Amino acid sequence: MSLTERKIWSWLEEVKDPEIPVLSLVDLGVITKVEIDKDEKVIISMTPTFIGCPALDYMKKDVEDVLAKNGISNYEVNVSLETSWNSNMISEKGRKALKQFGLAPPPKHNLIVDLDVLENVICPNCGSQNTVMKSPFGPTLCRAIHHCENCKETFEQFKPI
Amino acid sequence: MNNIALKDLLYKIADDQLIIGHRNSEWTGIGPILEEDIAFSSMAQDKIGHSYAFFNVLHELGESDPDTTAFLRNAEQFHNCQFVELPIGEYDFSLVRHFLFDHSEMIRFEMLTNSSFEPISLIARKLKGEVKYHIMHANVWIKKLGTATNESIERLQKSLDEAIPFALGIFEESKYEEELANEKIFPGEIALKERWIEQISDVLKQTELQLPDLSLTEARTGGRYGRHTEYLQPLLDEMSEVIKSDPTAEW
């Protein structure tokens, strides 16, 4: 069977965010390009969520591993800022996965993130909108801490950015 | 493109980010409340990540690799402003510094999104979204504590008065202002400072705090060209203790 970009995208579905093991890198939106050049070389472009994210090196390694596992030896994985990641790039499937994992997905925004966007978060546990932001910073760079006044649980949110 | 001017700009940004990042990280474990402990730690990680992005660009322009550049220079080879190297002090001082420095950083990145040097504009575009959180955090606390109790207002005011001469040192002009502006790499420190004054004044107006008269304040400059306070070298010694124990180790 010949190698297609589509097939590579499906392999990449297996690669999960090391800190959020239910979310694939494809659904996270950090894989920005998959190409096969005329020499059959596979070129994958990735972009970081947060520039200081320590998970990026692991993600890159995991992408390389999945290519190798599928018998690809001629490949290149590049990290580039050409496509600048924002949280709108998380897919619908990704948002559902985040919610099931107990992380509130980031609301879609018009690229202007202000306090209104930050404070309107639905509790991933009970679905209530009666929540308050405790801190825009959390245990990893991409998470904020909120509290639900309805079910009294504190929860984390994948930050809109 | 003028590489000397470009490197001069990149070094000061990278060094500011690296040093303020390490200072912020000193709050890890000792923040006044848990959320603030996490906030300063998280911002520290962001800022050190930012410095890495700029050190990488420097590396592409022929400088040493990021680890060597970050950890194996002496104080007089650093281009950060003196403001970022000052000890964290009490929480009020760190908060005021965070407020004053991060506003300047945000405006600098906004200006750099239009830089003619693409690697810088790409990073700046990316970082703006991250720094926005830092600004929001700083503004919330300055407004809250700047209108809270007599003690909180007095303490912030005292820190503000102490910080301002150093904060003005952020805008120490480069030897290459003209080249950078002509080549549309960066519009310049004077333009940055004007916008900064507007932005911080807008927030301070909503508090009981008074911005000292800037025309009567002498800026603490020198940092951009290696003149530092007594506080930088001990910080660098601490930051580089591990790498210096075995510079060739593989991690």
Residue B39 CB coordination number (10 Å): 25
Q: What is the pLDDT of residue A1?
A: 58
Instruction: Classify residue B226 by its DSSP letter.
Output: T
Beta-sheet strands, E only, within chain B:
none
Please indicate, yes or no, whether residues A76 and A98 belong to a single structural domain of this protein.
no
Q: Are residues A14 and A69 in the same domain?
A: yes
Confidence (pLDDT) at A139: 86
Asked if residue A67 and residue A44 are part of one domain, the reply reads yes
One domain, residues A147 and A125:
yes
Q: Which of residues 102-161 of B touch A (CB under 8 A)?
A: 122-123, 125-127, 129-130, 132-133, 136-137
Amino acid in position B32: P
pLDDT in tens, B46-99: 999 999 999 999 999 999 999 999 999 999 999 999 999 999 999 999 999 999
At which of A85, A108, A133 does a domain end?
Answer: A85
In B, which residues are within 8 Å of A136 by CB distance? 39, 133, 136-137
Give the model's pLDDT for residue A111. 75
Interface probe with A: pick from B35, B36, B133, most Cβ of A within 10 Å:
B133
Same domain for A101 and A65 = no
What is the reported pLDDT for A83? Answer: 92
Which residue carries 């970082």 as its tokens? B127
A98 and A148 inside one domain? yes
pLDDT at residue A114 in the model:
74
Contact B130 A134 (CB under 8 A): no
On whether both A79 and A101 belong to a single domain, the answer is no
Cα separation of B79 and B75, whole Å? 9
| Average pLDDT, consecutive stretches of 10 residues, N- to C-terminus, chain A (161 residues) | 88 93 95 94 94 89 96 94 93 95 90 76 94 90 93 94 89
The answer to whether the CB atoms of B136 and A84 lie below 8 A apart is no
Q: What is the pLDDT of residue B251?
A: 75
Q: Give pLDDT < 50 ranges for chain B.
A: none
- Do A59 and A123 sit in the same domain of this protein? no
Q: Are residues A12 and A54 in the same domain?
A: yes
Q: Whole-angstrom Cα distance, residue A35 to residue A42? A: 6
Contact present, B106 and B51 (Cβ < 8 Å): no
Q: How many domains does chain A have?
A: 2
Tell me the C-alpha distance between A34 and A6, whole Å: 9
- The minimal CB distance from B127 to the residues A51, A53, A82 is found for A51
Task: Show which of residues 39-98 on chain A sit within 8 Å of chain B, judged by CB atoms.
Answer: 48, 50-54, 81-82, 84-86
> B2-6 — which CB contacts under 8 Å span 24+ positions?
B2/B176, B2/B179, B2/B180, B2/B183, B2/B185, B3/B61, B3/B62, B4/B176, B5/B174, B5/B176, B5/B179, B5/B180, B5/B183, B5/B185, B6/B61, B6/B117, B6/B180, B6/B185
Contacts of B129 in chain A (CB under 8 A): 86, 113, 161
Range of A114's domain? 92-158
Q: Please identify, among A85, A117, A136, the residue that sits at the C-terminal boundary of a domain.
A: A85
- CB < 8 Å to A138, chain B: 38, 42
**Do A152 and A96 belong together in one domain?**
yes
Of A28, A58, A85, the domain-final residue: A85
Please, what are the domains in chain B? Answer: 3-245 (1.20.1260.10)
CA distance A94 to B241: 42
Q: Are residues A38 and A54 in the same domain?
A: yes
In this structure, are A112 and A45 located in the same domain? no
Nearest-CB residue to A51 (from B35, B39, B130): B130
Cα distances from B225 to residues B76, B82, B228, in angstroms, run 8, 11, 9
